[in-house]
Structure 1
Amino acid sequence: MKNPYSKKRRLGTALLTVVLMVSCLLSACSTTGTKGSSGAQQATQPSGQASAAPHKIIIKHAMEETTLESTPARIVVLDNGALDNLLALGVKPVGAPTVQLEQPYPDYLKNQTEGITNIGTIDEPNLESIAKLNPDLILGSKDTHEKIYNKLKQLAPTVYVDTIGYTWKENLKLQAQAVGKEAEAAKLLDSYENRLKDFRSQMGDRISTTKVSILRPRADHVRIYLKESFSGSIVSDAGLQRPAAQQGTGLSANAGEEQIADMAGDVILWFSRDKEHLLRTKLVNNPLWLKLDAVQSNQVHEVSAETWLSGLGIQAANLVVDDLFKVLLKSK
């Protein structure tokens, strides 16, 4: 007599086999995923969602190495150069200082700075104001803010350039790296170099014979800016020459009425923040000043202190180049 349950057992076994096969197929599908061009397996993502891989960056800077776990979004800058550069890169900081308390941001940036919180002065940024902004990156300079570095890095990852001024191109590159805008920085520098190439071409043979003097008259002396200054570096990039007395290294040299000869040049470009300064109070009537070639040929030109002195970024650099075109070629 046949077992009445044998047929049922055979049916049950078949059904179990089918279930196991389907389960294995579903499991394989859920783990296989898709492959990119490199052939590596990638987990599938729900529709409309990107991969969650962070943009981790290790920045080697003037103080140490700093790790950024992702591209920063809330950035505080501690000087005009970093403010200028970030705005040029299309990144608006949440906080920035001014030269003097309650002073507005540089006029040449006025259309770009709406909504940025003043965090004090460049020399004395307010740590409490910075903390309230909840930054995820702070950009400063070692030569100005070294003493507060350890306090700042407790608030957010902090990246310092070594110095400000003639190193402005290297500073732009480092700051661009920190905010993930290296390609944009390269384009800005290429454009700057192309403008100077055009300037040199238009100057022709005059480029190797025109000596430019850069002066900042103060209340009781004149500061002569040398090649290792912001504006001095741009004049050098342009291919223009400097007078013999202005060939020294360093940022600047001081001169009084006794050193008027050191201020000479085919062209004198000057700027000042002081309302009353030596050029207006004494030099303008000094016989030695009046005998200078630039004075006699009407080649003494005032330029903006905001750009030539304290701009320190790529936008200010281009405005300095604008002035070179205006003064030496009478055009842009």
Structure 2
Amino acid sequence: MGKQRNHSSYHLRRWIKWCFLLVATIALISGCNFVSSQRNSPQKSVDSVASSAEFRTVHHVLGETKIPIHPQRILALSGTTDLDTLLALETPPMAAGVDPSYHTKNGFFPHFNGKTDGIQPIPTWPKPNLEQILQLKPDLILGQRNYVEPVYDRLSQIAPTFVYENAIGNPEWRVVFREIAAAIGQSAKGEQVLNDLEQRLSQLKEALSKQNHETEISVIFYWTENRYVYSIFGKRSFGGSLLEELELPRPSAQRFDALSQDVSLELTSYADGDIIFLLNYSEPEEVEKLIENPLWSQLKAVQNNRVYRVNNIHWYTPGVLAAHAVLDDVERYVLGRSGSSDGARSLER
């Protein structure tokens, strides 16, 4: 009986000792895990802060959007002012929208001067292909309101979408430039780019003043959709607003505060001036028909061989690069000295 008690007591002590070791082991493991979690928790907080800092909220004309601070795959959906702005900021997008009927024949706009190498053109006119955009995996989409608004909700599901007002017909187009520059975190660079443009405008204005230029500048566009009218550009046109800044006089019929006005071919006097910039889009053969019209030959600028055919794109669509192309035309054909653009040629008669 005594041996049985001793035997039971022995097993009881072993069992208590085993339980003690088990509890100690569990406590030790729990303590290590706690220390590990404490060491890792600050790192998790840092990672969380870093993750939230990769985006910032930007307001635009259709609301607000969380935009990557450093977007890597930008889509310039409109392929106009948005693409011009990105190229001027030396931040080319990975893709840009194009009108297939124009791009197939002409490529990107000529005033972009070879800055579009590596940019994928995607047909987005008359409406974008959302499936193609999804496959491109953009991390930021830029586009003008009148084009983007109908599909904004669906575009926003693909990527953060920043929408700007159409700058055409708005002399305050620089506001749009600044908005896009701010959206991609390039405000400082944007101001530098604008300052360079302002400096050139100032220098050109001074040069024109020294030559006492009272030359009236006519700006017309022959609308190929209707062979019986042409359009004269007013003060709110992009090219017209730049001529205003240069204080170059316009014919009295073109001093209206609007984008443009359609005029019948019989009213050729509305087109006349000391110099005519004849804007051409993509059908030069139709412009040839205009200048063969007998009424055309009555114009003073025609008789003095001062009609110059220039590209409609940069006179019509606002942007910094477009502005420099307009100034190239003014410098070449009004001052008579060479600019840097090759987009214009004289209409020799």
TM-score, normalised via structure 2 length: 0.74
Map 1:38-187 onto structure 2 (within 5 A): 54=53, 56-79=55-78, 80-101=80-101, 103=104, 104-109=107-112, 111-165=114-168, 166=170, 167-187=172-192
Letter in 2 for 1:135: P
Equivalent-residue separation in structure 2 for 1:107 and 1:294 (angstroms): 26
- Alignment correspondent of 2:25: none
Equivalent-residue separation in structure 1 for 2:128 and 2:241 (angstroms): 28
Letter in 2 for 1:313: G
Alignment partner of 1:229 out of 218, 224, 237 = 237
Runs of 4+ in 1 over 4 A off after TM superposition: 205-208
Cα displacement (A) at 1:184: 1.0
Cα displacement (A) at 1:70: 2.7
TM-score, normalised via structure 1 length: 0.78
Cα displacement (A) at 1:207: 6.4
Cα displacement (A) at 1:297: 2.3
Equivalent-residue separation in structure 2 for 1:207 and 1:66 (angstroms): 50
**How many corresponding residue pairs?**
287
SS at match of 2:334: helix
Cα displacement (A) at 1:222: 0.9
Equivalent-residue separation in structure 2 for 1:207 and 1:150 (angstroms): 54
Give deviations 1:9-31, integer Å, cap 9, x for gaps: xxxxxxxxxxxxxxxxxxxxx9x
Equivalent-residue separation in structure 1 for 2:92 and 2:255 (angstroms): 38
What is the RMSD of the two structures over their aligned residues, measured on CA atoms?
Answer: 2.8
Q: Which runs of 5+ in 1 are unaligned?
A: 1-29, 31-44, 46-50
Higher Cα Rg: structure 1 or 2?
2
SS at match of 1:201: helix
Equivalent-residue separation in structure 2 for 1:185 and 1:207 (angstroms): 33
1:252 partnered with 2:260: yes
Equivalent-residue separation in structure 1 for 2:288 and 2:248 (angstroms): 27
Equivalent-residue separation in structure 2 for 1:240 and 1:266 (angstroms): 11
Cα displacement (A) at 1:248: 2.0
Equivalent-residue separation in structure 1 for 2:291 and 2:111 (angstroms): 29
SS at match of 2:266: helix
Cα displacement (A) at 1:208: 6.9
Letter in 2 for 1:114: D
Equivalent-residue separation in structure 1 for 2:285 and 2:82 (angstroms): 30
Alignment partner of 1:295 out of 299, 302, 307 = 302
Check the 8 A contact 1:142/1:163 in 2, yes or no.
Answer: yes
Equivalent-residue separation in structure 1 for 2:138 and 2:238 (angstroms): 28
Equivalent-residue separation in structure 2 for 1:261 and 1:111 (angstroms): 38
Equivalent-residue separation in structure 2 for 1:289 and 1:173 (angstroms): 41
Check the 8 A contact 1:78/1:122 in 2, yes or no.
Answer: no
Equivalent-residue separation in structure 1 for 2:245 and 2:114 (angstroms): 28
Cα displacement (A) at 1:320: 0.9
Give deviations 1:27-60, integer Å, cap 9, x for gaps: xxx9xxxxxxxxxxxxxx9xxxxx7772543322
